Amino acid sequence: MEFIQGMLRNPVLIAAVMGWFVAQVIKTIIHLIITKELVWERMVGSGGMPSSHAATVCALATVAGMQYGGASFEFAMAVIMAIVVMHDARGVRRETGIQAIVLNEMMDLFREMGKKMPIEDKLKEFVGHTPLQVLMGALLGICIGVMTGQIMIP
């Protein structure tokens, strides 16, 4: 029980979770506005605006800096992790999404030619982020981190 209470009082953990959650809610609302369709998968799915990956790690790094200081081991680890995660979200995972679009189009072509290709085999196309989505997620995470830090850090 003490472990759970400690987690609930941990501003770094709370900021990271809030960064992820707020980004996912915003992403779902933006998708609803654009498509006029509520897709609950957007609440847990990757890709889209803003990047929940960037929001999570930037909120975490911001509060770690506020709590432990800019010269701390904790802040250094959080910043390096944030850089790696955001680079990956914008780079490798974005390329994977672009490849998925091309492969899905190829599978559709094969279906039209009479090849048996189950529709369930469609690849996920929302897996990465554009630089703007990462930037917006990072700014959101920093804002959430600052607010969480001001509320929770004495």
State the average pLDDT for the chain. 86
Range of the domain at 99: 92-127
Shared domain for 60 and 99, answered yes or no, is no
Shared domain for 61 and 105, answered yes or no, is no
- State pLDDT tens for residues 7-29: 999 999 999 999 999 999 999 99
CA distances from 73 to 9, 70, 86 (A): 21, 9, 20
Number of domains in the chain: 2
Shared domain for 116 and 137, answered yes or no, is no
Closest alpha carbon to 47 in 127, 154, 153 = 127
Shared domain for 15 and 49, answered yes or no, is yes
63 phi and psi angles, rounded to 5 deg? -70, -35
Shared domain for 86 and 99, answered yes or no, is no
The pLDDT of residue 139 is above 90: yes
- State pLDDT tens for residues 32-64: 998 888 888 778 877 788 999 999 999 999 999
The pLDDT score that the predictor gives to residue 65 is 97
Shared domain for 108 and 147, answered yes or no, is no
The pLDDT of residue 31 is above 90: no
Alpha carbons 153 and 11: distance in angstroms, whole number: 7
Shared domain for 17 and 84, answered yes or no, is yes
Alpha carbons 14 and 63: distance in angstroms, whole number: 9
Shared domain for 101 and 49, answered yes or no, is no
Alpha carbons 86 and 144: distance in angstroms, whole number: 17
Alpha carbons 42 and 125: distance in angstroms, whole number: 12
The pLDDT score that the predictor gives to residue 123 is 60
Shared domain for 27 and 96, answered yes or no, is no
Q: Could you give the percent of the chain with pLDDT greater than 90?
A: 55
The pLDDT score that the predictor gives to residue 125 is 60
The pLDDT score that the predictor gives to residue 107 is 75
pTM (two decimals): 0.78
- State pLDDT tens for residues 98-107: 776 777 777 7
- Per-residue pLDDT, averaged over 121-133, amounts to 72
∠ Cα 137 138 141 (to 5°): 85
